[in-house]
Structure 1
Amino acid sequence: TPLGRADVEAAAARIAGRVRRTPLLPGLPPPGLHRTGRGLLLKAEHLQYSGSFKLRGAANAVLALGARRMVTGSSGNHGIALARLARALGAEVTVVLAGGAHPAKIAVIKALGGRTVRVPGGVAERDARARELAEETGAVLIPSSDHELVVAGQGTVGLEILAEAPDTETVYVPTGGGGLLAGVCLAAYGHPVRVVGVEPAGTPRYARSLAAGHPVRLAPGDSVADGLRGQQPGAVPYPVIRDRVDDLIAVSDAEILAAAALLRRRGVEAEPSGAVALA
């Protein structure tokens, strides 16, 4: 059956003891920015236990599957989330990282007890190696966005926004693999809120794909938003986004860096990938 809001509600119940219900901060944002009658609100997922919203989807998948040995391909934040969960649950995780992965994120994964594997190339090569490792070792593959349980978990961000600020008019969602955007689309189902995905101008995979009417594979692109790089939409998020997103917009690296700097001046430590929504 297709994913629906009920899957997001089930995820919220499942992960309640493992994730933080983060506040909506007045005035400014990264991940999940909203314009309401009160101006701009920031869904403060930088205060999540693993440092990003990725803990939500990871926790939903791990807990639902009862995984003891896991493998994933990640640009960092999903790998950090899985490593944190694995340590708490006495499980094992291997994180496959592509060439552009941030060294600080790799260090955190290792510090949490995760095993890391580096591969040359980009996201496609990384994810292919993760699939191979899962097949070779029998570990459970938990992708960073292209998985129904992961998408449902990310959608809990949207449930919390709409519960706390039901008069929200628009939610701006950083968009890379599309897991968070698809999840927020599901959470917003039946609610009069506009959901807008924000992509780096260098890798607008969803905007290009929706314009073409089918998933499009882009040439490798670059962006300061290292967490949002990738060449094609995920099979799970794509139909949800196609059917339910209200708009997709693209922002330049200069706009992203300016937004991150603005957030830092306001005391919010946001990486470029998180600042795209404000940009």
Structure 2
Amino acid sequence: MSVTTIDTLGPADVDAAVERLAGHVRRTPLLPGLGGAGRRRSEYALLLKAEHLQHSGSFKVRGAANAVLALGADRIVTGSSGNHGIALARLAAPLGVEVTVVMAAGASPAKAALIRALGGRIVSVPGGVAERDLRALELAGESGAVFVPSSDHELVIAGQGTVGAEILAEVPDVETVYVPTGGGGLLAGVCLSAHGHRVRVVGVEPAATPRYARSLAAGRPVRLAPSETVADGLRAQQPGAVTFPVIRDRVDDLIAVSDAEILAAAAFLRRRGVEAEPSGAVALAGALRAGRGAGRAVAIVSGGNTTAALTAAAATEPYLEEIS
């Protein structure tokens, strides 16, 4: 296991985020997944970190809240496939913060509708995630708003790292943590929280978008073409400048899973009463592909914003009548 070289971002930032987020995010439970519940290290057991039960329906609220609370901005611009934008809009409304979310072609209409219902402004752009984030950065510069990217920001990464901190506090003997990987904010955050612990951190990418696997093989960030993977929240085209070195120096393995495996994992979860969107089932797909050699393991169910859940949430928001 390699040792992370940490310059400006480290485990202390995750500790600070844990304190900052107290009372603002939900400490989500660990649910039984596969295998026995015994504590013997020889016994295989897979647990599910239930971030689909988090406020706003995904882990994204952790990084979003950490950034919003620390920055104190009154105007925020972001680029998002949906869940980060939902988290920011939900947080911003009670604080009187103006939020603009740039979304790329192919983004979920249901997620865009919920962002609008929460009072956020949507700007749609052609192209993929790279074009989306470039336009968001331009809009922030033009308007004087603060740019809070969905993954590649120190405060966002530290906030996402609180997922790992909770896992390690509750299951200190965990041997492997499977992390869904798109932009890399959650994976980098878990890598930071795992620093100094004897735990394997495994990133799981859609096979259609293996940006971290290819970048690590090349020794530098590599940009891929836009993807249409069913995991719409994991379509980032390249690693971030902040996330890449953390993941490069600390991740233990990367696994690629097909869309068919992702949908099978989502169906597996549904049969157990866990409603996960495809992106939220990716880590489980990786754990199922790895098999029982992982020992005591946790797969992060990162989001539950299915179309049905998003529609139901939008229908309860006070902004909905104003914009419909």
Q: Which runs of 4+ in 1 moved over 3 A?
A: 35-38
1:169 paired with 2:172, answer no
Tell me what 1:2 maps to.
8
Does structure 2 conserve the Cα–Cα contact (< 8 Å) formed by 1:36 and 1:167? no
Within 2, Cα distance between the matches of 1:255 and 1:38? 21
Match of 1:64 among 48, 57, 70: 70
The residue correspondences of 1:51-130 to structure 2 (distance < 5 A) are: 51-130=57-136
Does structure 2 conserve the Cα–Cα contact (< 8 Å) formed by 1:37 and 1:167? no
Match of 1:223 among 206, 212, 229: 229
Tell me what 1:178 maps to.
184
Within 1, Cα distance between the matches of 2:94 and 2:199? 36
- Using CA pairs under 8 Å that are at least 6 residues apart, name the structure with larger relative contact order, 1 or 2: 2
Does structure 1 conserve the Cα–Cα contact (< 8 Å) formed by 2:127 and 2:226? no
Q: What RMSD in Å do the two structures reach over aligned CA positions?
A: 1.2
Does structure 2 conserve the Cα–Cα contact (< 8 Å) formed by 1:59 and 1:85? yes
Match of 2:271 among 265, 268, 273: 265
Does structure 2 conserve the Cα–Cα contact (< 8 Å) formed by 1:200 and 1:225? yes
Aligned-residue sequence identity (percent) comes to 82
The residue correspondences of 1:184-223 to structure 2 (distance < 5 A) are: 184-223=190-229
Within 2, Cα distance between the matches of 1:181 and 1:109? 25
Relative to the length of structure 1, the TM-score reads: 0.96
Shift, 1:2, TM fit: 2.5
Within 1, Cα distance between the matches of 2:95 and 2:23? 13
Shift, 1:222, TM fit: 2.4
Does structure 1 conserve the Cα–Cα contact (< 8 Å) formed by 2:209 and 2:237? yes
Shift, 1:221, TM fit: 2.5
Within 2, Cα distance between the matches of 1:59 and 1:208? 31
Does structure 1 conserve the Cα–Cα contact (< 8 Å) formed by 2:77 and 2:146? yes
Does structure 2 conserve the Cα–Cα contact (< 8 Å) formed by 1:71 and 1:134? yes
Within 2, Cα distance between the matches of 1:38 and 1:220? 37
Q: Which moved more, 1:243-252 or 1:87-96?
A: 87-96
Tell me what 1:45 maps to.
51
Per the alignment, do residues 259 and 36 of structure 1 end up closer, same or farther by CA in structure 2, a change over 3 Å counting? Answer: farther
Q: Deviations over 1:223-251 (max 9, x none)?
A: 11010012111111000000000000100
Q: Deviations over 1:164-203 (max 9, x none)?
A: 1111100000000000000000000000000000000000
Relative to the length of structure 2, the TM-score reads: 0.83
Per the alignment, do residues 68 and 104 of structure 1 end up closer, same or farther by CA in structure 2, a change over 3 Å counting? Answer: same
Residue identity matched to 1:266: R
Per the alignment, do residues 158 and 256 of structure 1 end up closer, same or farther by CA in structure 2, a change over 3 Å counting? Answer: same
Tell me what 1:274 maps to.
280
Higher radius of gyration, 1 or 2: 2
Within 2, Cα distance between the matches of 1:111 and 1:148? 28
Per the alignment, do residues 36 and 82 of structure 1 end up closer, same or farther by CA in structure 2, a change over 3 Å counting? Answer: farther
Please list every run of 5 or more consecutive structure 1 residues that lacks an aligned counterpart in the other structure.
29-34
Q: Which moved more, 1:222-231 or 1:35-44?
A: 35-44
Does structure 2 conserve the Cα–Cα contact (< 8 Å) formed by 1:56 and 1:153? yes
Q: Deviations over 1:54-74 (max 9, x none)?
A: 000000111111111101000
